[in-house]
């Protein structure tokens, strides 16, 4: 590769780095237009044409009759705390629901270098505009949104009398395993029949775990299941992003999502490691999720040298929709929901799914290679629990085991590529001989390779077979809450990048750099494919740099796995190269006979 090509490639890589890590988050994400601090967020209503084209996409058309969040009267907020097991529930009189859920076993993990040390724990639905189990409807159903809270023998009750003679009573009964049961009873204590409007039962607001959540686009969002198939709507869907998360498909982002058709078995508002899940006793009609702006983090919540972001973090308020109904005088109606508010631990979700007869364990969102991800996760936990290995060391051990399983196939591939490299002079001679007849040249090359028992696919087959393992490992590492806060050598948290320090506002992560170096080393040791152009060979050697850029801000656990895999591949390549070569040397192709002159 000449100097000009190197300059072009290097400039392109620098531009990609700036685009992904600097330009996009600071300048291309357009903030929402300002509005008064006390304004009630309007709720979008579906446009008929848009719904006909795509029922999931709701146009951003303001509808005065749409359901709006409650506006609490000028009464002081009252809160009531209830601790049960490993969770603390904070109830609020404004909305008559759960303001936040504190998970006592999970400390609030923050980036290295945070200014204010704190012993706070993880909380769900924090800073959301409405509490969990807020029931939204028309003015007659909501009133001023202020409930009376009281303790009961089983938990907490929230009660409110409405102006039309209705009384709404909510019961909250905490259970084990981060579960709690809820019920909403609407009583008609008037002398006349009353029509109850359609309701939205808010089951939570999905939000990033912290201000520096690196995987917010893919792990924060709303998910629901019809009992068989799981449907995930991440932040990137609302942002309407297309290419590399940088280019929006339309001028405006999507503000609302609707899903379900009387088949909602459960629905969740989740981030990377935690979720609030609503589980109705029978399938619910549908769900709705809306984008909203959350408060910006304060300077004390950010690491040293990191400025407060220009754009407020996005949250996604999700609710189950129920239709309106008529309630006769003296009558009542009651509906129940089971909630799970806790960590996305596979074993725990699988246990609940087995008990409840649903597929709640698919909340892990392992993807196409879920079987591989589950096997890897269970293996990692077994190594940690049974052999007392740290999670970082467990990842290294699993990588070694996987490499040994694939060792015979990879060794055979390396030997095949080694023989291919030895045959390069003869193959180039054939290419030169039949360069004017490509079809014949390819036929002769294939005959030559069959004769010497080599295949151009020999080097690709092991890579293809390891693709499910790689993607399974990727999804497992991204979803495993066990890695959150797990240390390894200089890495304080394997679920986050291993940032050593900030250099002019740019994070210096060591493991991705080591991964890139080992990939370069591995590429240098790998023999080129036959017939590959020299320029293409050099480009392939510089491809590791692209991987390093794309994975630079991924979790340290992923780059640890990849670096270990590269080192093992380098070791295997060197060992295979030291094996004695076959005694037989391939004969050189017979040159074409020289043309004889005519006899005189």
Residues 67-79, mean pLDDT to the nearest whole number: 64
Q: How crowded is the C-beta side of 382, counted as CA atoms within 13 Å?
A: 8
Per-residue pLDDT band for 574 (boundaries 50, 70, 90) equals confident
Tell which wins on pLDDT, 585 or 524.
524
Q: Can you give the pLDDT at residue 74? A: 55
Q: Can you give the pLDDT at residue 288? A: 95
Tell which wins on pLDDT, 305 or 414.
414
Whether the per-residue pLDDT at 290 is higher than 80: the answer is yes
Tell which wins on pLDDT, 118 or 352.
352
Mean pLDDT of the chain: 77
H helix intervals, 249-345: none
Residues 66-91, mean pLDDT to the nearest whole number: 77
The angle formed by the CA atoms of residues 54, 57 and 58, to the nearest 5 degrees, is 120
pLDDT digits (tens, 9 = 90+) for 82-111: 999 999 999 999 999 999 999 999 988 765
Residues 529-551, mean pLDDT to the nearest whole number: 66
Residues 492-514, mean pLDDT to the nearest whole number: 85
Per-residue pLDDT band for 293 (boundaries 50, 70, 90) equals confident
Q: Can you give the pLDDT at residue 377? A: 93
Which token pair is 413?
């591939």
Which residues on adjacent β-strands are paired with residue 341? 276
**What sign does the dihedral 82-85-88-92 (CA atoms) show?**
negative
Burial class from Cβ neighbours inside 10 Å (0-12, 13-18, 19+) for residue 75 reads: exposed
Residues 254-259, mean pLDDT to the nearest whole number: 90
Which token pair is 112?
């290295």
Whether the per-residue pLDDT at 547 is higher than 80: the answer is no
Q: Can you give the pLDDT at residue 478? A: 87
Which token pair is 297?
């983090």
Q: Please, which residues have CB within 8 angstroms of residue 497's CB and are 6 or more apart in sequence?
A: 214, 507, 509, 511, 512, 552, 553, 554, 555, 556
**From the CB of residue 575, how many other CB atoms can be counted at a distance below 10 Å?**
12
| Domain 77-365 annotated CATH 3.40.640.10 | no
Would you say how long the chain is, in residues? 600
- Separation of alpha carbons 191 and 166, rounded Å: 11
Q: Can you give the pLDDT at residue 427? A: 75
Tell which wins on pLDDT, 286 or 52.
286
Scan for tokens 């799981």, then name that residue.
Answer: 230
Which residues on adjacent β-strands are paired with residue 245? none
- Separation of alpha carbons 163 and 188, rounded Å: 11
Residues 580-597, mean pLDDT to the nearest whole number: 49
Q: Can you give the pLDDT at residue 275? A: 95
Q: Can you give the pLDDT at residue 14? A: 55
Rg (CA), the chain: 30
pLDDT digits (tens, 9 = 90+) for 429-468: 877 777 777 787 777 777 777 777 666 665 566 667 778 8
Whether the per-residue pLDDT at 17 is higher than 80: the answer is no
Q: Which of 461, 463, 434 is nearest to 531 (CA)?
A: 434
């Amino acid at each position: 590769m000449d100097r000009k090509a190197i300059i072009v490639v290097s400039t392109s890589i620098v531009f990609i780095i700036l685009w992904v890590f600097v330009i996009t988050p600071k300048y291309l994400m357009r903030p929402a237009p300002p509005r008064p601090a006390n304004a009630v967020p309007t709720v979008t209503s579906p446009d008929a044409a848009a719904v006909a084209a795509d029922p999931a996409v709701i146009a951003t058309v303001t509808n005065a009759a749409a359901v709006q969040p409650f506006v609490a009267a000028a009464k002081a907020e009252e809160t009531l705390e209830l601790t049960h097991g490993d969770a603390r529930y904070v109830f609020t009189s404004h909305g008559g629901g759960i303001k936040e859920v504190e998970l006592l076993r999970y400390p609030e993990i923050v980036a290295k270098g945070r200014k204010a040390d704190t012993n706070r724990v993880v909380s769900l639905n924090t800073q959301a505009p409405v509490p969990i189990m807020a029931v939204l409807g028309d003015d007659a159903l909501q009133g001023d949104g202020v409930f009376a809270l009281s303790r009961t023998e089983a938990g907490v009750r929230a009660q409110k009398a409405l102006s039309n003679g209705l009384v709404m009573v909510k019961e909250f009964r905490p259970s084990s395993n981060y579960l709690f049961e809820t019920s909403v009873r609407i009583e008609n204590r008037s002398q006349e029949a009353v029509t109850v409007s359609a309701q939205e039962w808010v089951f939570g607001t999905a939000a990033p775990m912290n201000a520096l959540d690196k995987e917010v686009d893919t792990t924060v969002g709303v998910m629901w299941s019809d009992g068989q198939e799981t449907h995930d709507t991440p932040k990137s869907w609302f942002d309407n992003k297309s290419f590399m998360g940088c280019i929006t498909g339309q001028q405006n982002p999507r503000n609302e999502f609707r899903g379900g058709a009387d088949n909602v078995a459960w629905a969740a508002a989740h981030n990377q490691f935690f979720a609030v899940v609503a589980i109705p006793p029978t399938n619910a009609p549908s769900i709705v999720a809306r984008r909203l702006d959350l408060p910006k983090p304060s300077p004390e919540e950010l690491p040293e040298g990191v400025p407060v972001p220009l754009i407020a973090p996005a949250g996604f308020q999700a609710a189950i929709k129920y239709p309106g109904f008529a309630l006769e005088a003296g009558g009542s109606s009651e509906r129940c929901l089971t909630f799970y508010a806790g960590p996305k631990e596979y074993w725990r979700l699988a246990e609940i799914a087995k008990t409840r007869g649903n597929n709640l364990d698919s909340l892990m969102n392992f993807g196409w290679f879920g079987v591989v991800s589950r096997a890897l996760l269970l293996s990692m936990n077994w190594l940690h629990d049974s052999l007392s290995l740290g999670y970082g060391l467990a990842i290294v051990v699993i990588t070694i085991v996987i490499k040994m399983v694939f060792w015979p196939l990879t060794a055979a591939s390396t030997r095949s590529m080694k023989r291919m490299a030895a045959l390069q002079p003869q193959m180039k001679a054939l290419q030169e001989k039949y360069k004017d007849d490509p079809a014949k040249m390819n036929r002769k090359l294939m005959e030559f390779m069959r004769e010497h028992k080599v295949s151009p696919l020999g080097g690709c087959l092991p890579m293809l077979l390891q693709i499910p393992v790689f993607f399974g490992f990727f999804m497992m590492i991204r979803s495993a809450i066990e890695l959150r806060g797990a240390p390894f050598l200089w890495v304080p948290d394997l679920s986050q990048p291993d940032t050593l320090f900030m250099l002019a506002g740019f994070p210096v992560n060591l493991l991705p750099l080591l991964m890139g170096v080992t990939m370069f080393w591995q590429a240098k040791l790998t023999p080129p494919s036959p017939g590959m152009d020299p320029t293409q060979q050099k480009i392939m050697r510089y491809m590791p740099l692209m991987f390093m850029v794309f994975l630079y801000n991924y979790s340290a656990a992923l780059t640890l796995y990849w670096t270990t895999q590269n080192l093992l591949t380098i070791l295997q390549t060197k060992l295979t190269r030291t094996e004695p070569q076959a005694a037989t040397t391939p004969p050189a192709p017979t040159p074409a006979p020289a043309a004889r002159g005519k006899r005189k």
